[in-house]
A and B are shown apart, each in its own frame.
Chain A
């Protein structure tokens, strides 16, 4: 069997099986086996189609029909649910979407040539690897997590069969998105991921969860509507629904502004750009593995994946300018708003929004350099951010809180978790670690694109990024003088996933030149031809960074060995002379011991996140409207 078909179809098997399994042992076995198979298959697929230049797959016509039948079923189900919940705006969107896509498919007036259905380039291969490996690890992690979750929340109904089933359906759909070249297929998978996201956000079925799930559903359906619009427009004007043809037409001077604009819009909603970011924040009510899988490492990446594919036609066009500005604004605002939050998941969510914004901006710039940066960012972010989310999940179960303030002194309380988180944090913003390299490349690409505004957005945004990551790190490394024991809730499943991801995050820092030359550069060469830039970071700098990486590893280790045996004279901290014998307390004005409480800065009054989000949302909408007006003006003419 072909690995591509295997990837698309195999996950549906565990999805079905797990729906029926109630026994935890059996479920654990099935999930472990299936996750390993999926991860293995993704590696198999990558190996199999790495060398073949174009990898094309044709299928039978009935597949398309089956897809539209399924899609209609979903639409009806969503509509019924929305009517029951009196969310009529969702009904409207679904109806519009369905009417448009059914008309397009079955109207005799529409003639489109048979498109290429599936297609795998290096970008798709990278995404397949991310989805397969990271997705598999997250599925394994969730076994331990969900067990504890239900032990801690006896009031919630155990819907784990549905949970795992949806997770595997999602994996299949995600493979579908990244491998489709037929836009109608991609649209089908796109909608399936929306639905999976909806089901997983609403997992607990509390009122809050339902409301947030509906918002995510509504927004993403809106993006889906734009997607259908793009398909219809492309079908009617160009007689094709082929993504690559669209790019080819765009490159050869055809006016593809309208479909590109609509697809970009769909991509930006999916990757939670302003003003649609709120759905991703709402999605944080879902169990943490969901946030890791759908809302940081894979599903939201579908949006940037599409945008990166569109990058060559975005470069230097009005639609590209829009994408750059919206992405840049989202990066800056997301980073600043992350400062004002103390809930770890919210910080991660805003940081995800911000990083997606950066990738979106890279796609919008659309030069070879920028796509290089965006591509690398996508990979690094998927690995490092899922590590962060999963760590927070385990810590939440052990400390009973996911507030960053409660992670005070984690290094003393639970060194293994603290180091895992520290690796994640370092991977997110520090030289010589992963994300920084891509940010650096992004910066060079932005400068070379001669767009001063985006350069400014980037430098201010990354300064804000620095603040919230370092203060988090600071909380963790604080050394408590007296340890209050932690009840550690880390199962084997969780530990395995965390260890592998932490290893992968560290390894990526060393191996990124390999990733660059084996995945990114061939892809760029395929898209941009000989004009594609090779390594953006000069070899000399890579050498220096490798040195730094060595120093970061070797010096602390050496110092540790050197200082370890040495006896230090340990003294209490300075508390203005009002010390008790215990650093956790000082003597207050009544001569009573009082607890010392150290808090990070959130500066909510200074940054006013609500106002900031509102106005930046307005700015994004205005940007989109301006470009939309240009497009409509072009149509009328």
Chain B
């Protein structure tokens, strides 16, 4: 394949992935800034400047670097690299399942970093993070299955051009996915492993032992993560490659994010038992019902394909 043919085939994909890699920190950081302001307003405060998350991260790079051991920083870098890769895979229109598996790999590096620190608080944070992963993973996988059954493809690139919005076929899975999104955004009531609010029983949980630049990298990774999660929510509403549907999806995703903030501010953290139980029950019921109905309706191949 020569360069021109290659660019013709993959140019858009590469461009979109590159844009993601460049712009996601901007979007994610702004989202975090908006989040903090909305949270403050909900609590009757004024809140920090919009750009506060960027100041925080820049500040962290100014601090002197200390660490508990070398290995933990090593894992943190891997976490960031693979998280960026995961997001790029999504924005390049890649396979949803592969995207989920890559995400798991990235998360594993984060958890390993906390385990490597070998401190009580980070170890319990790691364990809780792992529990959260176990809680949300079935729902996320089932959502991917739902996309496949609704549109006939696992490829994000194909789903964008499906004949109708996936949410029309998998509304229950959409609700279920929103439920586990709280885990992913690390928001109350499912912010078991760490949280943006200080003063909790496990100090800063999984991030306790990271400081300075390592912590900054983790923050940046979370911005990348937030960006592709928003895009994932938007994917439910996109069809036919229609740019308006992309905007619609983005709008819905931002509304969902607003609801997440509201829930964050109105719910207390639950115990881990309730967290995993509820997530599995939601995944089991929405997944089973939605996929069953879809199978019965379709009989043969996906009717949106």
Contacts and interface: CB of A to CB of B under 8 A. Distances in A.
- Direct A–B touching in the complex (beta carbon < 8 Å)? yes
Interface of A: 409, 411, 430-432, 436, 440, 443, 447, 450, 452-453, 455-456, 459-460, 462-464, 466-467, 470-471, 473-475, 477-481, 538, 540-541, 544-545, 548, 551-552, 555-556, 559-560, 563, 568-576, 583, 596, 598, 600-601, 606
B218 to A, nearest CB: 16
B42 interface: no
A555 B81 CA distance: 9
A128 B130 CA distance: 39
A431 B291 contact: no
A559 B72 CA distance: 12
B111 A456 contact: no
B85 A463 contact: no
A167 to B, nearest CB: 37
Interface stretch (B48-56, B116-124, B160-168, B170-178): B116-124
Interface string B75-102: 1011001100100010000110110011
B68 A544 contact: no
Contacts of A471: 127, 130
- Number of contact residues on B: which range applies? 35 or more
Given A475-B115, A601-B127, A606-B273, A569 B71 contact: no
Contacts of A560: 74
B64 interface: yes
B66 A571 contact: yes
A599 to B, nearest CB: 9
Nearest to A586: B120
B67 A459 contact: no
Given A478-B118, A574-B203, A466 B81 contact: no
A431 B102 contact: yes
A544 B93 CA distance: 12
B145 interface: yes
A571 B67 contact: yes
A473 B105 contact: no
Nearest to A336: B134
Contact of B112 (A453, A473, A575): A473
A481 B116 CA distance: 11
A456 B65 contact: no
Interface of chain B: mostly helix, strand, loop or mixed = helix
Interface of B: 64-75, 77-78, 81-82, 85, 89, 94-95, 97-98, 101-102, 104-105, 108, 111-112, 114-123, 126-127, 130-131, 133-135, 137-138, 141-142, 145, 148-149, 203, 208-209, 273, 276, 280, 283-284, 287-288, 291-292, 295
Nearest to A480: B118
Given A431-B98, A456-B142, A596-B120, A570 B69 contact: yes
A598 B120 contact: yes
Nearest to A607: B276
A480 B116 CA distance: 8
B134 A464 contact: yes
A463 B65 contact: no
Given A452-B292, A459-B138, A478 B70 contact: no
B138 A541 contact: no
Contacts of A453: 288
Contacts of A574: 119, 121, 203, 208-209
Contacts of B115: 473-475, 477-478
A459 B142 contact: yes
Contacts of B123: 474, 478, 598
B180 to A, nearest CB: 11
B69 A436 contact: no
A616 to B, nearest CB: 15
Given A431-B102, A560-B74, A470 B111 contact: yes
8 contacts: A431-B105, A452-B292, A456-B287, A460-B284, A477-B112, A481-B118, A545-B98, A576-B203
Rank and list the top 6 A-B pairs by shortest CB-CB distance, nearest first: A474-B115, A431-B101, A573-B119, A463-B137, A479-B69, A478-B118
A582 to B, nearest CB: 13
B288 A452 contact: yes
B295 A551 contact: no
Given A477-B115, A541-B95, A569 B67 contact: yes
Contacts of B273: 606
B145 A447 contact: yes
Contact of B73 (A462, A466, A563, A601): A563
Contact of B94 (A452, A544, A563, A600): A544
Contacts of B114: 474
Contacts of B292: 452
A477 B116 contact: yes
Contacts of B89: 544
A408 to B, nearest CB: 8
Contacts of B148: 447
Contact of A460 (B81, B112, B280, B291): B280
Contacts of B208: 574
Nearest to B103: A431
A506 B209 CA distance: 32
B102 A462 contact: no
A462 B95 contact: no
Contacts of B203: 574, 576
